[in-house]
A and B are shown apart, each in its own frame.
Chain A
Amino acid sequence: SQTIHQWPATLVQPVGSPLSLECTVEGTSNPNLYWYRQAAGRGLQLLFYSVGIGQISSEVPQNLSASRPQDRQFILSSKKLLLSDSGFYLCAWSALGSPLHFGNGTRLTVT
């Protein structure tokens, strides 16, 4: 069966520090991968999605970047965090015709 792992679960980082959030998927090949950000109790904003290794589409201009170094690995990064980067970050995967499957999220607090 397919599983998705996202870590860390929580993270507190100072302004100006770098960020690296990792997401890996098991049990499937060539999934579509997504990074979403969610404000408290609200909908999800699509940040990046990828349909293959090295293929990244950015949805909104921002202080973040994404990379897909391996088929089932998706990384969200920042060189210098801003206070406005705080939020709940969710990684998800899908295959053609299937719904999204989400990880349990990372709660990021930038102080």
Chain B
Amino acid sequence: TQLLEQSPQFLSIQEGENLTVYCNSSSVFSSLQWYRQEPGEGPVLLVTVVTGGEVKKLKRLTFQFGDARKDSSLHITAAQPGDTGLYLCAGVWNTDKLIFGTGTRLQVFP
């Protein structure tokens, strides 16, 4: 069974602080995706990383895929209250299946 562990599970910070969320697995994935979910809604895709070592930036969010394609990180610079939500990593396995991480709930206070 493929497992993706995210850390931390919960994160509560002040506006303007930086943070990093980690996503780790013992399995190798062909690609990895990051989603953000609001309460009562489905997750929405933020980014897909495909190549080992790849770094992608989306405004204040920086995503990195590990060299061995087993782990990934999401770094947010100068967090805003609008960044509040549940962040989920998801590994693509066998082209048809997406295995989700355990989730990180972020709360940014003004």
A residues whose Cβ falls under 8 Å from a Cβ of B: 32, 34, 36, 41-46, 49, 51, 90, 92, 94, 96, 99-100, 102-105, 107
Contact = CB atoms under 8 A, between A and B. Distances in A.
Nearest to B41: A104
Interface of B: 4, 6, 33, 40-45, 48, 86, 88, 90, 95-103, 105
B4 to A, nearest CB: 7
B102 A103 contact: no
A90 B96 contact: no
Helix, strand, loop or mixed for chain B's interface? strand
Contact of A43 (B6, B33, B40): B6
B42 A49 contact: no
Nearest to B43: A102
B42 A43 contact: no
A36 B90 CA distance: 13
B100 A36 contact: yes
Contact of B45 (A46, A49, A90, A100): A100
Specify which of A41, A45, A103, A107 lies most central, judged by the most chain B CB atoms within 10 Å of its CB. Answer: A41
12 contacts: A32-B96, A41-B105, A44-B90, A46-B99, A46-B100, A99-B45, A100-B33, A100-B45, A102-B41, A102-B42, A105-B40, A107-B40
B98 A46 contact: yes
Contact of B43 (A32, A41, A44): A44
Given A41-B86, A104-B40, A105-B41, A51 B96 contact: yes
Contacts of B33: 99-100
A99 B43 CA distance: 11
Contact of B88 (A32, A44, A94, A103): A44
B48 A42 contact: no
Contacts of A51: 96
A105 B86 contact: no
Given A41-B103, A90-B43, 17 more contacts: A34-B98, A36-B100, A42-B102, A43-B103, A44-B88, A45-B100, A46-B98, A46-B100, A49-B96, A92-B42, A96-B95, A99-B48, A100-B43, A100-B98, A102-B41, A102-B43, A105-B40
